[in-house]
Amino acid sequence: MFRIATSSLLSVCLFACGPRIKPVVDAGEEDAGIEVDAGRQRGEDPPNGWQMAVALPADAGPSTKLGASVSAIGDQFAQPVIAALSEDPNGDLNYDDNRVIYTRWDGATKAFEPVKVIEIIGGSASVSPVVSASRQISVARDADTGRIGVAYIKPQDNTVRVAISDDEGANFSLLTVSDVPRAALMSNPSLGLQGGTIHVAWLQGTDVMYRKKTGSGAFVDESLGSTVTSGGSSLWLALDSAGSPGVAFFSSVNGTSADLAFWRPGSAANVIASADMLDLTVMGRDPSVTLTFVGTTPHLAYHLRKLDTFDATELWYLKATDSGTTWATPIAIPRNSSSTTEFHSTRYFQALALEPSGRVSIAAPWSAIGTQANCNGPKLSRAPDGVTFTTCSPLGSPVQRGGEWINLWTHKPGKQTLVFHYDPRTNPSIKSGIVMWREP
C-alpha cells in the first residue's frame, strides 16, 4: 500500500499527461444549510435540472473519452461522489495514459471539486455498454466510518485495485485486491464498504470472485471461483443492513444462454430468473444486473431478453421474499412505446433506487430504433407501490439515444438524482462528459 499526494500528482498528470479537466456547473440558488457531518460542511446542494458534472474539454481529441464506466453515489448529504475513467486525455491514440478520476460536489464552494487523478492505469479504448455490458469502476462509501472507496481494474498488470480515502477524498491509499496478476482477464469490480470492512467482487475470466478485508488484515478469499461459469460480463455486489454481502450475476451452463443468480458468500448460488432464448453469442445481448438491499432483503433491476422477438421485454424488477433464498415473480418494466417503428428499447446498464415509502425507481439508457415520438432518454420508470411502473424520461431531457453507465439515488423523498456518461459531441443542448440530472 502507498499513499498519493493528490496535489502533486494532479499537477503532474493533468498538465504533463493531458489537458486539464474543467468541471462545468450552474451554481443554482437552493440553500441546504450549514450542516456539518464527519467534518464536512453540507453547504448548498447541487442545482436542480440538467447540468455537466465534468465536461469533456472543447479541444479534446477524437479519441479522448471522459466518463467511461462512471460510478456515482450520494454522500452523507445525498450529494454526488463520482469516479470514472478518463481515456487518452492528450488524444494521441496511445491509451497508456488512461486514468481513474474522482470528484464530488462541494456545497461550501457550490461547485464540483477539481478532478483528482487516483491512478494512471493504461489499457485501451473502452467498449460501449451497448456492445458489452462491462463496467470497470465502482465507488462506495462506508456510512459508519465515512471512508470513501473506488474499485477498478488496472490493465497494465491485470489486477483489481481499491483506492481508499479516510479524509473525505482529499487523499487516497491504494490497495491491490488480487495477490498476483492473473492469467484470466479481470473485469467488472464491485465494491462495498461497511463497518471498516472492504468487500470486493469481480469476474476473473468466467470465474466469480469475492474477497474481503477487515481493518488492517489481509484480503480473505471466499470466491465461487470456477464452481460457477459466468454468463455475460455483469456482476454487482451490495451490503445489507447487517453489513453482510450479496452478489448478483449471470451464470451459464453452455456458454450461450444466461440465468440470473444470487449468491451469499458462504452459501451456494441459486438461480432466480432465466432467459428463454437469450443467445450470448450475438453482440449486444449481454445481460446486466444491479443489486441493492432494504434491510436484509435483496432487490434487483436487470436486463435480460426473455424471448427472441423484436418487442420482447428487456428490463425487469425482482425482489426477494426473504434474505435471498426465495424470490417473488419478476415484474416487467414497460417501455413507453409498443410500436414496431418506434421501438423504445433500453440497454445496459440500469440503476435502481428504493425508498422507505415503498417507491421503486429504475433508470436505463434509451437505445431505440426509428423516430422518438414520446419522451427522450434516459428512461426513468417509477412505481409508488413497487408494482405498477410508469416509464418516461426526466422532464426537459436534452438526451435522446444515450445515458451510458447510468447511476441513480434519491436525494429527498420522491426526488431522484441521475449521473451518467454521455459521449456524443454534436448535441447543441448538452456537452459530452459526465452528466447529472437532479429532480426539483
| Mode of pairing for the β-strands spanning 99-106 and 116-120 | antiparallel
**Other CB atoms within 10 A of residue 214 CB:** 13
- pLDDT tens-place string over residues 63-120: 999 999 999 999 999 999 999 999 999 999 999 999 999 999 999 999 999 999 999 9
What span, in angstroms and rounded, lies between the C-alpha atoms of 317 and 4? 40
Residue 369: what pLDDT? 53
User: Looking at the predicted structure, is the pLDDT value of residue 321 above 90?
Assistant: yes
Residue 332, SS3? Answer: strand
pLDDT in tens, 129-185: 555 568 899 999 999 999 999 999 999 888 999 999 999 999 999 999 986 666 788
In the predicted structure, residue 31 carries a pLDDT above the cut 50: no
| CA distances from residue 267 to 224, 263, 274 in whole angstroms, order as listed | 9, 7, 20
Position 133 scores a pLDDT of: 63
**CA max distance for the chain:** 58
CA-wise closest residue to 422 among 50, 80, 59: 50
CA–CA separation, 384 and 227 (whole Å) = 39
pLDDT given at position 284: 60
Q: Over the chain, what is the mean pLDDT?
A: 85
Distance CA 400, CA 349 (A): 16
User: Is the predicted pLDDT of residue 400 greater than 90, yes or no?
Assistant: no
What pLDDT, on the 0 to 100 scale, is given for residue 29? Answer: 43
Unique residue bearing C-alpha cell 479524509: 167
Residue 337's pLDDT is 59
Chain segment 329-365, per-residue pLDDT in tens: 999 888 775 554 455 677 778 999 999 999 999 999 8
Categorize the per-residue pLDDT at 233 as very low, low, confident or very high, splitting at 50, 70 and 90.
confident
Check whether 247 has a pLDDT greater than 90.
yes
Arithmetic mean of pLDDT, 7-36: 45
pLDDT tens-digit map of 262-271: 999 999 999 8
Please check the confidence at residue 2 and state whether its pLDDT lies above 70. Answer: no
For residue 10, the surrounding DSSP H or E stretch is: helix 6-16
Tell me the β-bridge partners of 371. Answer: none
Percent above pLDDT 70 for the chain: 80
Write the DSSP symbol of residue 95.
G
Residue 228 pLDDT exceeds 70: yes
Residue 403's pLDDT is what?
82
What are 343's strand-pairing partners? 369
Using one digit for the tens of pLDDT, what is the confidence trace for 359-387?
A: 999 999 876 555 555 577 788 999 999 99
Residue 14, pLDDT above cutoff 60: no
- DSSP assignments along 205-260, one per residue: TTEEEEEEEETTS--EE---EEEEEEEEEEEEEEE-TTS-EEEEEEE-SSSSS-EE
Q: What CA–CA distance (Å, rounded) separates 391 from 62?
A: 34
pLDDT exceeds cutoff 70 at 289: yes
Query: Of 82 and 260, which is predicted with more confidence?
Result: 82
Predicted local confidence at residue 281, as pLDDT: 60
pLDDT at 433: 96
